[in-house]
Amino acid sequence: MIVRFDIEVRVAYIRCPECGEQVSSKAYNCPHCGCPMPLFGGGKAKAKKHAVLAGVGCLGLIAVIAAAYLLVTRVL
């Protein structure tokens, strides 16, 4: 039996300024051309704030996934 996790993971996509491809806002570099993303490579103070926010968001996401996992395993 295959248990599918249909959890919507919201990842913001930004356009690479170099090649114009869509890149995850969590990426440090563009996977297409290697261009550093402005979110992290730009203003240092801003980047730090964004990194902290991303860390908090990741913890929240892990909590949501863990809660969903517990719910699913309890139902089965």
Contacting residues toward Zn ion, per CB under 5 A: 16, 18-19, 30, 32-33, 35
Rounded to a whole number of angstroms, the minimum distance from the CB of residue 50 to Zn ion is 19
Q: CB nearer to Zn ion: give 36 or 47.
A: 36
Rounded to a whole number of angstroms, the minimum distance from the CB of residue 42 to Zn ion is 15
Non-local (6+) Cβ contacts of 27 within 8 A are 37
Rounded to a whole number of angstroms, the minimum distance from the CB of residue 9 to Zn ion is 22
Could you give the residue ranges of the DSSP H alpha helices within the chain?
38-41, 44-75
Radius of gyration of the CA atoms of the chain, in A? 16
Non-local (6+) Cβ contacts of 44 within 8 A are none
Q: CB nearer to Zn ion: give 31 or 60.
A: 31
Q: CB nearer to Zn ion: give 25 or 62.
A: 25
